[in-house]
C-alpha cells in the first residue's frame, strides 16, 4: 500500500472546522497532548509501517 497523495476527505471545509473545533477549549499543552493521541490512534488504524514511514517523511520528520 502507498500513502495516498490525493484528496480523500469528504467535505474538506467541514472536516477542518471539526478538527479546529475539537481543540477550541484547550490550552496549547492540552491540544498538543490530544494531537499526540490522535497521531497514535490514526497510526494504529493504518498499521502499515511503510505507509507510516512515508507519512513521517512527508510531514518533514527524519526517517531511517
Partner 1 sequence: MLKTYTYPRFDYAPSAEQRSGVVRRHPVVIVGAGPIGLTAALDCAARGLPAVLLDDNDTVSIGSRAVCYAKRPLEIWDRLGCADRMVKKGVSWKVGKVFFRDRLSYQFDLLPETGHKMPAMINLQQYYLEEYMIDQVLRQERIELRWKQKVISLRQEADHVVLTVETPDGVFAIEADWVIACDGANSDVRKMVGGEFTGHFFQDRFLIADVVMKADYPTERWFWFDPPFHPGQSALLHRQADDVWRIDFQLGREADATEEKKPERIIPRVRAMLGDDREFELEWASVYQFACRRIDNFRYGRVLFAGDAAHQVSPFGARGANTGVQDIDNLTWKLKLVMDGAAPLALLDTYDEERAFAADDNLMNSTRSTDFISPKSKASRRYRDAVLELAEDNAFARPLVNSGRLSKPTPYVRSSLNTPDEESFSGRTRLGANCDDAPIARDGAEGWLLNALGEGFTVLTFGAAPAREVTSGRIRAAVLAVGDDLMDRKGALAERYDGRPGTTYLIRPDQHVAARWRSFDTAKIERALARAVRA
Q: Which residues bind partner 1 (CB under 8 A)?
A: 32-33, 36-37, 39-41, 44
Our CB check for partner 1 shows the closer of 20 and 39 to be: 39
In angstroms, what CA-CA distances link 63 with 20, 34, 54, 58? 28, 23, 8, 10
H or E stretch at 44: helix 28-46
| Rounded least distance, CB 27 to partner 1, Å | 13
Q: CA Rg, the chain, in Å?
A: 14
Our CB check for partner 1 shows the closer of 41 and 59 to be: 41
Our CB check for partner 1 shows the closer of 37 and 49 to be: 37
Amino acid at each position: 500500500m502507498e500513502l495516498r497523495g490525493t484528496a480523500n476527505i469528504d467535505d474538506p471545509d467541514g472536516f477542518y472546522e471539526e478538527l479546529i473545533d475539537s481543540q477550541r477549549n484547550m490550552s496549547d499543552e492540552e491540544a498538543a497532548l490530544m494531537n499526540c493521541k490522535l497521531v497514535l490512534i490514526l497510526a494504529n488504524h493504518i498499521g502499515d509501517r511503510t505507509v507510516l514511514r512515508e507519512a513521517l517523511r512527508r510531514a518533514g520528520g527524519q526517517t531511517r
